[in-house]
Chain A
Amino acid sequence: MGRKLLLTHIDVPGIQSYSVYKAQGGYRSVDKVLKSMSPDDVVEEVKKSGLRGRGGAGFPTGMKWSFLAKPEGVPRYLVCNADESEPGTFKDRYLMTHIPHALIEGMIVSSYALGAHTSFIYVRGEMMPQIRILEKAIAEAKAAGYLGKNILGSGYDLELYVQPGGGAYICGEETALLESLEGKRGNPRIKPPFPAIAGLYGCPTVVNNVESIAATVPIINDGGEEYAKIGIERSTGTKLISAGGNLAKPGVYEIELGLPVEEFIYSDEYCGGIANGKKLKAVVAGGSSVPILPANLITKTIKGDARLMTYESLADGGFQSGTMMGSGGFIAFDEDQCIVRNTWNFTRFYRHESCGQCSPCREGTGWMEKVLYNIEHGQGTMNDIDLLWDIQRKIEGNTICPLGDAAAWPVAAAIRHFRDEFEWHINHGQEAQSRNYGLAHYADPLEVVTES
């Protein structure tokens, strides 16, 4: 059994409530930091842990914290990014639903570390039930003296608020989130300045994912070094993986980083294999934005090594034969699924979610969606594949925020790895309306490429 740090008490009845959470050792980390640690000690501990941002970019959290500007007399803010909307990802909803106090506890510890006295949890508006759960948890924590003025007699004050979004994937981008929190359209800001210098209301701000903030609790309780012992290389600690698609046991799993992908998919401790006895065709390992890989590249790298659930191993081979950890949204496709249809579906998503500020993303996402719609519906031409490749190339890297890249990568990867399925769709337009291409050779073992 892998170690659990975030979901340890997930099965304890009533763990949603303050009293049960507290009885299980909850809020120890707040006691510890307020009584025996300076804010800088906390930052140092998080640095030692090697924790990397769990929202998708994987940037070291401690380092992000240390960039925060601290001018005299200017408030600083911590904003938790709970705008979980990346297709395939649902771990934050799970955590907030079942163990809301883990997030509240992490918010207090992190706010203290950053010197923030007002912090916000920006939750996507669709998660109204989770907003109510968090509001209740905040009220409980406040009643217990963990929020408000002079917490535990330490002299530290903190108010914590939940802010609902309005329905916009783009608000998961941290500057769009801040715009939204200021009551504006979720248009990503043009950087620099970065939020660490000028974020919410122009003040220094840190924006962290729900899971990253919750992870500070075990880091403080057990020490950063202890946390860093779990995992491999620069992938330390545990990670929540949202497993969806055609798996026997979809759901949220806490894994120790370094777990082999094959074990994650097929072992009974985790996903239990592919649903209905089917075969695996492809996997999107880190949320819809990351490159899709055929079955034969997800369990083994191109060098023939077992692929592991780590930032490094998933990215092994670059975009040619690898993918990314992203937000840990693990989507499995069985042999009956159509990669063309899914690519069209994802592209429709990005078109729908583009804010429309910058031209390559605004125009390019819509263009790709229309071309893919044609191919999926039997109206494509062979030129369309090259056209798609060219459009995604023109979006990637040329936009204000990463949404452009996120829209381009899935298209690029689908063409890179599943080009024959696209070609079959085009050459058999009629047939493709009634049946799918199937597994084809996508699970066949690949010839190992060794560096010469």
Chain B
Amino acid sequence: MLSLKENLVVDFSPSLLEKFGEIVARYPEGRQKSALLPILHEVQAVYGWLSVDMMDKVASYLSIKPIEVYEVATFYSMYFLQPQGKYTLEVCRTGPCCLVGAEKIMDHLEDKLGIKEGEISADGLFSWRGVECLAACGFGPVLQIGPEYTFYENLTPDSVDALIANLRTEAQAKD
């Protein structure tokens, strides 16, 4: 059970609502619930995670009960129910990637960022976690970064360092 302490209250922007509309239009009349997963992705792409308020608003948009959204959001592994770092690095931790060094990459990330799996770095920029097979076993080790799930393949400690440096620069440039 979640406390409402960390509840980000939001108003969806007109452009986001327009996207919702486009998604709902794909399905037959009365089947708007089909839009739930894609809409949750859109919301998370904007806010970085899903708060109770956001889920309740999605429920009311789709004319379904809030519990139906909670059930789905907690079932699928991609939805974050707590705030994350600006960049969440998701490293594949499943067998084939481990054969080619995924575990070393995760150790390296932990050292490099100074945070454990699931934590957020002090500057709010990074969090990381191990995820299950990303279907890129021939190019392992791999990691992905949302919301567009950009892929980084054949990772080495050096390439991970370079990636982190780039992301820092990118974040500074945006500020």
Contacts and interface: CB of A to CB of B under 8 A. Distances in A.
Question: Is there a direct interface between A and B, measured as CB atoms under 8 Å apart in the complex?
Answer: yes
B94 A349 contact: yes
B137 A329 contact: yes
B169 interface: no
Contact of B79 (A75, A87, A167, A186): A167
B76 A87 contact: no
Contact of B98 (A168, A184, A252, A342): A342
A346 B78 contact: no
B80 to A, nearest CB: 11
Nearest to A271: B138
Interface stretch (A61-69, A122-130, A225-233): A122-130
A246 B75 contact: no
A87 B72 contact: no
Interface string B21-45: 0000010100101111110110000
A166 B79 contact: yes
B144 interface: yes
B94 A183 contact: no
A186 B133 contact: no
Interface in B47-73: 62, 64, 68, 71-72
Contacts of B35: 183
Nearest to B102: A345
B164 to A, nearest CB: 21
A169 B132 contact: yes
Interface residues of A, number: 57
A341 B102 CA distance: 13
Interface residues of B, number: 45
B134 interface: yes
Contacts, number: 155
A342 B134 CA distance: 17
B150 interface: yes
Contacts of A207: none
A110 interface: no
Contact of B133 (A129, A132, A185, A349): A349
A243 B34 CA distance: 35
A185 B78 contact: no
A11 B99 CA distance: 29
B135 A168 contact: no
Given A166-B78, A246-B99, A183 B36 contact: yes
B113 interface: no
A393 to B, nearest CB: 22
Interface string A169-199: 1000000000011111110000000000000
Interface in A310-344: 329, 331, 333-334, 337, 341-342
Contacts of A159: 26
Contact of B96 (A164, A169, A244, A355): A244
A185 B75 contact: yes
A164 B95 contact: no
A211 interface: no
B98 to A, nearest CB: 6
Contacts of B40: 166
A10 B137 CA distance: 19
B37 A92 contact: no
A163 B28 CA distance: 14
A186 to B, nearest CB: 6
Given A345-B94, A345-B95, A244 B37 contact: no
B96 A167 contact: no
B148 interface: yes
A124 B131 CA distance: 14
B31 A201 contact: yes
A250 interface: yes
Nearest to B99: A245
A89 B134 CA distance: 9
A430 to B, nearest CB: 20
Interface string A235-267: 000000011111000111000000000000000
A185 B72 contact: yes
A245 B102 CA distance: 11
B136 interface: yes
B31 A353 contact: no
Contact of A90 (B36, B41, B136, B147): B136
Contacts of B75: 166, 168, 185-186, 355
9 contacts: A126-B78, A166-B72, A180-B37, A182-B34, A183-B36, A184-B72, A242-B137, A244-B96, A346-B94
Interface of B: 26, 28, 31, 33-38, 40-41, 62, 64, 68, 71-72, 75-79, 93-96, 98-100, 131-140, 144, 146-151
Given A167-B77, A186-B75, 20 more contacts: A87-B95, A88-B137, A89-B135, A90-B137, A125-B78, A126-B131, A128-B146, A168-B75, A183-B37, A184-B72, A201-B28, A244-B137, A245-B99, A288-B133, A329-B96, A331-B95, A333-B99, A341-B98, A345-B94, A349-B95
Closest 10 pairs between A and B when the two form their complex, measured CB to CB: A166-B76, A244-B137, A167-B78, A167-B77, A183-B36, A183-B33, A250-B138, A128-B149, A87-B133, A185-B75
